[in-house]
Structure 1
Amino acid sequence: MILFPLMFYLWSTSNAENESISKPNIVLIMVDDLGIGDLGCYGNTTLRTPNVDSLAKKGATLTQHIAAAPLCTPSRAAFLTGRYPVRSGMASLNRLGVFLFSASSGGLPTEEITFAKLMQQQGYSTALIGKWHLGINCNSSDDFCHHPLNHGFDYFYGIPVNNIRDCRPGHGSVFASGIKMYIPTTLQITGTALISLAVLHYIGLLRVSHRVLGYSFLMTALLLGLLMYFFYNFRYLNCFLMRNHDIVQQPWSYENLMQRFTEEAKRFIKRNSDAPFLLLLSYPQVHTALYVSQDFKGKSKHGLYGDAVEEMDWSVGQILHALDQWHLSERTLVYFTSDQGAHLEEISSNGEVHGGYNGIYKGGKSTNWEGGIRVPGLVRWPGVVEPNISIDEPTSNMDIFPTIVKLAGAPLPMDRIIDGHDLMPLLQGIALQSKHEFLFHYCNAYLNAVRWHPGNSKSIWKAFFFTPNFSPKGSNGCYDSHVCFCHGNFITHHDPPLLFDLSKDPEEKNSLTPETESHFYEILQVIQQAVNNHTKSLTVVPNQFSLGNILWKPWLQPCCSSFIQFCYCNNDS
């Protein structure tokens, strides 16, 4: 059974004469915040996902597929580059681990090489439809240094930042608690400081010119006014839809948004049915704010979240049908995943669960417990990947980079470390063990845990150097702070590290001790040596999440009209 796929793969990747085989079409589907337990092919019995499940029946299911980070921005950077986010500066040293503002200067550095850029050089037509979340501009509102079109995509139709509650009226606010907490406090502290300064001046204890006092009051008022303006107009400033470099809807309309992304993807497939193409379909769903079209509203057993999952599945079915319609299925590798685990903290104002289900796995988005990083991984390629197979070896979303770049006939970059490994040997049964002996799990820029799969053992060891403090205590997430944080009082350090054997305890319920594991210290010693080697491979790069890179900068604000009109336009057709 292995011989034919092996011969086919070797022939398909070396025979340049038959371009339709040696350069297969690539369709990559990434869902935002989807839990591994939300899909029928991973054990869900209450949500209907027949189209996604068909990918598993007709291809390979990766049961231990790992996101390189438990948050959107760093995970997507790793996916596109095949490298740990810390290597490109896409890992934060601060509390904020994702880009929140369209008018900030951080983003995927221009020096980074994405799979889209390499495949574009091999003659592929490339498109990103949906969510980007890796920055837009550097120095002006139209330099587009971080834009998808500057990273190898020929075509972009989607949202450059993120779909959050503040983008949809009536769905609450991610910033509301911060505004209530910090704005009054800031006003109080600033006001007290300025009044104290004025009093000290007038009683003669401190000499300050009237001009300095006046400027201080004026600048403080302007700064606070600017902040208030931004937060109360966030939807107009941050929630917009782009086609290539143009804003076509600001703010975007949620009406039939999933259908619009689906139709754009189908049109791209049709336009490129006679030449190799790469399509990255990056759904903003099922991240909040949740939305569904009328056809799916109220149809699932799990409220708005379940409706959104089932509409996403419908969209996947539309893409697969388009590949069949244009006779492309056997020439197309389809990959399906999520950028990280389900967001357990997402609860609506009326108490409805707006986050997904991570199955048996502990924790969720923003944590490196298995629920935060173990994601769906489905690969279908008829005639090359056998149907209905399961691969239980550790794999990573970084593996897509070398896999599809090699299939496209492009050499891997030699001037940088690529952390992913080609999946084809595993997918075809040529290799029985993953090349990932170690996987390093980062919480922002902090090394949080390490996974070790020894070559001579079925055990998969996982050591935690620190763990998040769930809040409230005893829960499965950090409900009080929307996400779990990575440093300070939000975590507990462990010395010795917490150690689990995932092959026996995938739920991470029982940490091992020297009494329950005779090789306890030997295992930790090997892991520590791997950490030392990994750390030596890192180089210092500019951090894209520095304070200067994440702040909102008015001069970088993309806007399709004047500020007086609140950046409003509706030209999407």
Structure 2
Amino acid sequence: MRFILLLALCPSLFAARPNIIFILADDLGWGDLGCYGNKTIQTPNLDAMAKQGTLFTQFYVNASVCSPSRCAFFTGQYPSRHRIHGHYATKQQNDARGMSNWLEPQVPNAASLMKTAGYTTAHIGKWHLGSNSGGPPPDAYGFDFVGTSEKDGANGPAADPYFRAKSTAIFVDECLQFIEKAGDTPFYLQLWTLVPHATLNPTPEQMAPYARLRANGKDFPHASAMQIFAASVTDLDTQIGRLLAGLEKLGKDENTLILFSSDNGPEDIHIGNAGHSGVGSAGPFRGRKRSLYEGGIRVPGILRWPGKIPAGRIEDKAIMAGVDWLPTICKLAGVTPPADHTFDGEDVGDVLLGQSHPRTKPLMWEWRFNISGEPFHHSPELAIRDGDWKLLMNPDRSRVELYDITKDLTQLNNVAEHHPDIVEKLAAQVTTWAKTLPSGPRDPTAGQMHSGMPGKPDSRPLKGQGKKKNEPVK
């Protein structure tokens, strides 16, 4: 209370505290933007944002699907701490996978912690941290304003078939209204988009610039998957451009830190509900959504803060991750987190401002379930990145793979037999970490490179679950 009163009496103390906007796309791959090398999809606004700020080539999320990835950004902790191992679904499906049904609201998070520094807070767009399985709504987590979400586009007969196509524009309208209403109060805003997650249905106007991508050329009557996907990503870019322009018009752009990223890698075209989103690009990397190979967990990371974050910088050396977001913005906002809330990430504010140095903590991942689609992307269950090395392994060591990730982007040359000392060091770290995680059922095919049934739910029972079946692929 004394801190907030002091800020009210001395508003100049806010000067060094940036407004913060966190934009999170859904299923956007590392290679889906022009600034990351895409030659097909037009993303001029995000390309411009990268030129005005810093583009990170080694930006990771801490899970290969949506709910756990979002938890890591929001709490600064590995999602398995909270028994969030996969996407939140129905209670029955969550229980079958040994998962919680929602992130507990009392867990310190970005919204609640920013409020302690006098920030007004908002969440607009996709949530997927438990309200779809009966959990608390987003406003229970410390948000002053909660806008439109995916639930508002329900698939009833009266629903607009183009809701998803129009959703980013709706979200941006609400963002600008929130920012204007915030006035001189610093704000923390989460804009989590629905695009380009399936099912995509862009409007004819959004599709028009990509007529050349129809299945057999511009005169062919049917849209191709790439036309639909490209149109959706370009509209996402257009609406982010509107947000940036509105921020400037409101005089807020100079002291606003913006992060743009994605919750995981691109969907696999073989997944049954992938629709047209399965043609996204993982760039040069092996792996897609659900995989612990690079393409499933390495995503775009663009940060802009005029005059603070170097403009036009492409940062190839620093390794950043979703768990670093909360400790970093806490430091920038002057927030001291509760002593019993241990961050798994680290403050990388100096890296944002231009420095480049190795991480002090390795990054670790787990995936307990089946991976459908191409066997080439079927990773082991555990992974650890420490410096230039990345180790992937199954707990029983039925698969052990070591890669120098700076030299072998596609993870084709397993050098484990040539570096047994590095294997043992990293294996000990990730195994010790895995033993601290909540126990629970595992899919019998987890960590296996198998042909499977592409696009079909896995019908085999989960370990420890008798006859219960694995959830449908999502």
Structure 1-normalised TM-score?
0.65
Distance 1:304 1:509, change over 3 A: same
Aligned to 2:264: 340
CA-CA distance at 1:390 after TM superposition: 2.1
> Do residues 525 (structure 1) and 428 (structure 2) align?
no
Report which stretch shifted further, 520-529 or 27-36. 520-529
Q: Whole-Å Cα distance in 1 between the matches of residues 386 and 181 of structure 2?
A: 45
> Do residues 450 (structure 1) and 384 (structure 2) align?
yes
Task: Give SS of 1:449's match.
Answer: strand
CA-CA distance at 1:536 after TM superposition: 6.2
What one-letter code is carried by the residue in structure 2 that aligns with 1:98? H
Q: Whole-Å Cα distance in 1 between the matches of residues 207 and 161 of structure 2?
A: 22
Aligned to 1:359: 283
What one-letter code is carried by the residue in structure 1 that aligns with 2:260? F
1:451-466 correspondence to structure 2 within 5 Å:
451-453=385-387, 460-466=388-394
Equivalent residues, number: 407
Aligned to 1:512: 415
Q: Whole-Å Cα distance in 1 between the matches of residues 312 and 274 of structure 2?
A: 41
Q: Whole-Å Cα distance in 1 between the matches of residues 262 and 364 of structure 2?
A: 19
> Do residues 499 (structure 1) and 402 (structure 2) align?
yes
Aligned to 1:50: 44
Of 383, 389, 397, the match for 2:307? 383
CA-CA distance at 1:435 after TM superposition: 2.6
Checking the alignment, whether the CA contact within 8 Å between 1:71 and 1:340 is kept in structure 2 is: yes
> Do residues 265 (structure 1) and 175 (structure 2) align?
yes
Checking the alignment, whether the CA contact within 8 Å between 2:111 and 2:121 is kept in structure 1 is: yes
Distance 1:308 1:57, change over 3 A: same
Deviations 1:536-572 (A, max 9, x none): 655679x9x999xx99xxxxxxxxxxxxxxxxxxxxx
Of 121, 134, 142, the match for 1:152? 142
CA-CA distance at 1:155 after TM superposition: 1.3
CA-CA distance at 1:162 after TM superposition: 11
Aligned to 2:73: 79
Task: Give SS of 1:530's match.
Answer: helix
Deviations 1:402-458 (A, max 9, x none): 11122121102320321111121112234522233x1112114895111121xxxxx
Q: Whole-Å Cα distance in 1 between the matches of residues 180 and 125 of structure 2?
A: 18
Q: Whole-Å Cα distance in 2 between the matches of residues 395 and 161 of structure 1?
A: 31
Checking the alignment, whether the CA contact within 8 Å between 1:65 and 1:374 is kept in structure 2 is: yes
Q: Whole-Å Cα distance in 2 between the matches of residues 30 and 49 of structure 1?
A: 15
Report percent identity of matched pairs.
32
Q: Whole-Å Cα distance in 2 between the matches of residues 63 and 121 of structure 1?
A: 33
> Do residues 99 (structure 1) and 9 (structure 2) align?
no
Checking the alignment, whether the CA contact within 8 Å between 1:406 and 1:412 is kept in structure 2 is: no
Q: Which has the larger radius of gyration?
A: 1
Q: Whole-Å Cα distance in 2 between the matches of residues 251 and 417 of structure 1?
A: 44
CA-CA distance at 1:122 after TM superposition: 1.9
Checking the alignment, whether the CA contact within 8 Å between 2:27 and 2:196 is kept in structure 1 is: yes
> Do residues 279 (structure 1) and 189 (structure 2) align?
yes
Gapped regions of structure 2 (runs ≥ 5): 1-9, 95-99, 214-225, 370-379, 443-461, 470-474
Q: Whole-Å Cα distance in 2 between the matches of residues 102 and 263 of structure 1?
A: 33
Distance 1:399 1:147, change over 3 A: same
Distance 1:271 1:378, change over 3 A: same
CA-CA distance at 1:102 after TM superposition: 8.9
Q: Whole-Å Cα distance in 2 between the matches of residues 47 and 350 of structure 1?
A: 19
Report which stretch shifted further, 24-33 or 260-269. 260-269
Checking the alignment, whether the CA contact within 8 Å between 2:72 and 2:322 is kept in structure 1 is: yes
Q: Whole-Å Cα distance in 2 between the matches of residues 259 and 346 of structure 1?
A: 30
Deviations 1:496-548 (A, max 9, x none): 6111111110110111143xx3xx1100121123225434655679x9x999x
1:88-237 correspondence to structure 2 within 5 Å:
88-91=82-85, 97-101=86-90, 106-136=101-131, 145-159=135-149, 235-236=155-156
Checking the alignment, whether the CA contact within 8 Å between 1:132 and 1:158 is kept in structure 2 is: no
Distance 1:156 1:350, change over 3 A: closer
Q: Whole-Å Cα distance in 2 between the matches of residues 439 and 447 of structure 1?
A: 14
Checking the alignment, whether the CA contact within 8 Å between 2:198 and 2:274 is kept in structure 1 is: no
Q: Whole-Å Cα distance in 1 between the matches of residues 235 and 161 of structure 2?
A: 22
Report which stretch shifted further, 264-273 or 25-34. 264-273
Distance 1:318 1:527, change over 3 A: same
Distance 1:349 1:66, change over 3 A: closer
Task: Give SS of 2:131's match.
Answer: coil
Structure showing greater relative contact order (alpha-carbon pairs closer than 8 Å, 6 or more residues apart): 1
Task: Give SS of 1:281's match.
Answer: strand
CA-CA distance at 1:322 after TM superposition: 1.1
Distance 1:352 1:338, change over 3 A: closer
Deviations 1:334-369 (A, max 9, x none): 100000000023678998664311111112001011
Q: Whole-Å Cα distance in 2 between the matches of residues 503 and 431 of structure 1?
A: 16
Q: Whole-Å Cα distance in 1 between the matches of residues 255 and 248 of structure 2?
A: 10
What one-letter code is carried by the residue in structure 1 that aligns with 2:89? L
Checking the alignment, whether the CA contact within 8 Å between 2:383 and 2:391 is kept in structure 1 is: yes
Checking the alignment, whether the CA contact within 8 Å between 2:198 and 2:276 is kept in structure 1 is: no
What one-letter code is carried by the residue in structure 2 that aligns with 1:499? L
Gapped regions of structure 1 (runs ≥ 5): 1-15, 92-96, 168-234, 241-248, 454-459, 467-486, 488-492, 552-573
CA-CA distance at 1:253 after TM superposition: 4.1
Task: Give SS of 1:278's match.
Answer: strand
CA-CA distance at 1:20 after TM superposition: 3.7
1:400-479 correspondence to structure 2 within 5 Å:
400-436=325-361, 438-444=362-368, 447-453=381-387, 460-466=388-394
> Do residues 18 (structure 1) and 12 (structure 2) align?
yes
Q: Whole-Å Cα distance in 2 between the matches of residues 409 and 421 of structure 1?
A: 15
Q: Whole-Å Cα distance in 1 between the matches of residues 148 and 389 of structure 2?
A: 40
Q: Whole-Å Cα distance in 1 between the matches of residues 392 and 112 of structure 2?
A: 35
